[in-house]
Structure 1
Amino acid sequence: MQAIVLAGGYATRLWPLTKDRPKMLLPVGETTVIDELLSDLENDDRISDVFVSTNERFAPDFETHLEESEFEKPRLSVEETVEEDEKFGVVGALAQLINREGLEDNDEDLVVVAGDNLFSFDLDEFIDHFEEQSTPSLAAYDVGSKEKAKAYGLVELDDGEVVNFQEKPENPNSTLVSLACYAFPSEVLSQFDEYLSSDNNPDEPGWFLQWLQSRQTVRAFTFSGAWFDIGSADGYLEAIDWALAGEPLIADDATVENSRLEGSVQVLPGATVSDSTLARSVVFPNSQVTNASVDDTVIDSEATVENIDLSESVIGSYTTVAQDAEDEAESAEEATEVVQN
């Protein structure tokens, strides 16, 4: 069995945090977003090869990351794009990778998972389910409310079999979200080209699964627990909150002085926090936070935050956000206008 980890997105909704780094390499506790998945795949003896599918722009970042890791299975497979508007769509990129790496000729089943998803189950549980069913499979998570479900692609099930799909519906029939976690028997791989040659939607794998479900049985692996889509700053902070379980995490060479860290706060190497209060926030390497109150905020590398209150913000790298001491009484709204350097 082989595996593909999708890591080719440009994450424009997370800019400036992901303008110059792939979101899959964002730190989450002691690890990164993508390393949670790579670790599961590395430890599963059924997986022979892992292809990390990325773009030309971020390929050097992933190459360095993998070289410095202890993983042996992953290797890069690079699509020829450097900007968002050049992308082939996820299904198009998958089909190209299957052809580029000759996966169709290997007669091996294939696991496909998005590199920006965190979930509480181990991938070996999903693979167990797939092998038991011997049919195309997807992972599905119950978001618990139809209001939340409106933002996602949904599935309806009959005794574990997928019987209907809805894509971001105004009136959901289900609260089960179809996650970007799939498994395909080897004989399905040739159908990616068939799907695309018929001018079907090349963007999201869910459309391919819907097309496939009209031709054969597709089953769902459902799970409870946690799932996070790292597509926004709030989604990223939710994942941090889950990983840290409500406790601060301070790197050994970070400095925290005369400060209060409330709940899930991650302070990365080289960062300095002094005379401040932080809650549910991340301070990236070599940033400085002084005399500030910060909550629900991500402060990128080499940034400076001082004499200010911040909430629900993303502060870009090398940015200074400061308020003169005599102006501290001004409103936070006026004070948090940020210009990216």
Structure 2
Amino acid sequence: MKNIVIAAGYATRLGELTRNFPKPLLKVGDNTILGRMLDDIDRIDGIDEHVIITNHRFAGIFNDWAEGMKNVIQKKITIVDDGTESNDTRLGAVCDLLFAMDKLNIHDDLLVVAADNILEFSFQGFVDFARSKGTSCIVYHEQPSIDKLRRTGVVLLDGNNKVLDMEEKPQAPKSRWAVPPFYIYLEKDLDLVRHSVENGCGKDAPGNLAHYMVNHTTMHAWPMAGTGKNLRFDIGSLDTYKEACKKYGN
């Protein structure tokens, strides 16, 4: 299984802090945002490589970081430069995933994660769940806020956690199960992934691909290590970055 980290955004909402520096490599306490995530994923049996897809502006910074992580992260780290240099020319998260798959000729099971989250759970449970189900999978958690549900993916599930339906940013959410940007796509479904955009899948948000896949193959959803608990810190703005630094260290 390859761990593919989507890290090609320009984080414009963080202003000067990320004008010339990638958000995933910002320090939070004694580690970076991305480093905290890889510390966990690196320990999962079966993960044999971390693929970081970034943009041309930040590729050199990521390469320097990866060189310094050789004695910290045990699995191979590969940096992929998508060639873009501005927010206006970005490929979008789905196209970045397809770019990395094509560039590296990837034909493995994939763990796909967004790079701007600090997590208080392990992806080991997610990987074990996908292996037990034998299907591609998404993560879900309870979201009591209707306003927040309207800004994310929302799923309907059966009693076996099979995904029955998924909507992106619904005005009238059919459940309180929100989908964060963490996915497992099995090798048997990669042909669907590769042809998703040409068949109408949205390009920008990673949730667009999950929505597309739910309509084309069997998917199951893993409860985020304790539904209803605050186990994910999404760093999307300067304010949330400051909150993370306060919570996890200066």
1:101 aligns with 2:104: yes
- Return 5+ residue gaps in structure 2 as ranges: none
Change (3 A) 1:44 1:200: closer
- Which moves more between the two structures, 126-135 or 156-165? 156-165
2:246 and 2:165 map into 1 onto residues whose CA distance is 33
Contact 2:168–2:211, Cα closer than 8 Å, also in 1: no
Q: Which residue pairs with 1:179 in the alignment?
A: 180
Q: Which residue pairs with 2:164 in the alignment?
A: 163
1:188 and 1:22 map into 2 onto residues whose CA distance is 31
Q: Deviation at 1:30? A: 1.8
Secondary structure at the counterpart of residue 181 of structure 2: strand
Secondary structure at the counterpart of residue 154 of structure 1: strand
Within-5 A mapping of 1:127-276: 127-159=127-159, 160-223=161-224, 224=226, 225=229, 226-244=231-249, 266=250
Q: Which residue pairs with 1:80 in the alignment?
A: 83
Secondary structure at the counterpart of residue 16 of structure 2: coil
Q: Deviation at 1:198? A: 2.0
Contact 1:137–1:221, Cα closer than 8 Å, also in 2: yes
Q: Deviation at 1:127? A: 0.7
Opposite residue 84 of structure 2, the aligned amino acid is T
Change (3 A) 1:92 1:31: same
Q: CA offsets per residue over residues 108-143 of structure 1, 9 Å max, x none?
A: 211111111222111111111111111111111222
Secondary structure at the counterpart of residue 148 of structure 1: helix
Q: Deviation at 1:63? A: 1.1
Contact 1:228–1:238, Cα closer than 8 Å, also in 2: no
1:191 and 1:28 map into 2 onto residues whose CA distance is 37
Secondary structure at the counterpart of residue 57 of structure 1: helix
Secondary structure at the counterpart of residue 132 of structure 2: helix
Contact 1:37–1:123, Cα closer than 8 Å, also in 2: no
Opposite residue 79 of structure 1, the aligned amino acid is D
- The structure with the largest alpha-carbon Rg is 1
Q: Residue 90 of structure 1: which of 86, 90, 93 is its match?
A: 93
Give RMSD over aligned pairs: 1.6
Within-5 A mapping of 1:41-120: 41-69=41-69, 70-72=72-74, 73-104=76-107, 108-120=108-120
Q: Deviation at 1:26? A: 1.3
Contact 2:37–2:119, Cα closer than 8 Å, also in 1: no
TM-score (norm 2): 0.91
1:128 and 1:196 map into 2 onto residues whose CA distance is 29
Q: CA offsets per residue over residues 225-263 of structure 1, 9 Å max, x none?
A: 32122111222233234424xxxxxxxxxxxxxxxxxxx
Opposite residue 82 of structure 2, the aligned amino acid is E
Secondary structure at the counterpart of residue 172 of structure 2: coil
Q: Deviation at 1:211? A: 1.8
Opposite residue 196 of structure 1, the aligned amino acid is V
Q: Which residue pairs with 1:126 in the alignment?
A: 126
Q: How many residues align?
A: 242
TM-score (norm 1): 0.67
1:242 and 1:153 map into 2 onto residues whose CA distance is 27
Q: CA offsets per residue over residues 79-136 of structure 1, 9 Å max, x none?
A: 11111111121111111111110102xxx21111111122211111111111111111
Percent identity over paired residues: 31
1:173 and 1:150 map into 2 onto residues whose CA distance is 11
1:239 and 1:157 map into 2 onto residues whose CA distance is 32
2:170 and 2:244 map into 1 onto residues whose CA distance is 26
1:187 and 1:241 map into 2 onto residues whose CA distance is 43
Contact 2:153–2:169, Cα closer than 8 Å, also in 1: yes
1:241 and 1:173 map into 2 onto residues whose CA distance is 35
- Which moves more between the two structures, 194-203 or 51-60? 194-203
1:241 and 1:66 map into 2 onto residues whose CA distance is 26
**Greater length-normalized contact order (CA 8 Å, ≥ 6 residues apart):** 2
- Return 5+ residue gaps in structure 1 as ranges: 245-265, 267-341
Contact 1:91–1:208, Cα closer than 8 Å, also in 2: yes
Contact 2:53–2:80, Cα closer than 8 Å, also in 1: yes
Question: Which is richer in helix?
Answer: 2
Q: Which residue pairs with 1:304 in the alignment?
A: none
